[in-house]
Amino acid sequence: MTIYILKIQGTKKIPDYIQIRDEDFTLVAYFRINNPRRALSRCNLLDQQEQILEIANKLPYGKIHKLEV
């Protein structure tokens, strides 16, 4: 399965978010980078949480990272 990880920059009032999209680029998960557990468990990606967060922390805003899971 291929997923795409995007990092969205927040504003002063809105925090940074991470989007996870599937092969068809449909939104699978949308969560704050400091609170991923619930969103990742809903889309059955909790096993890859560490890998996803490591990529998300290094990823520049507005860039897309392709990940095979």
pLDDT of amino acid 33: 86
* 19: nearest Cα among 54, 68, 58, 52: 52
pLDDT of amino acid 4: 97
pLDDT by position in tens, the chain (length 69): 899 999 999 999 989 999 999 999 999 999 998 889 999 999 999 999 999 999 999 999 999 999 998
pLDDT of amino acid 42: 92
pLDDT of amino acid 68: 93
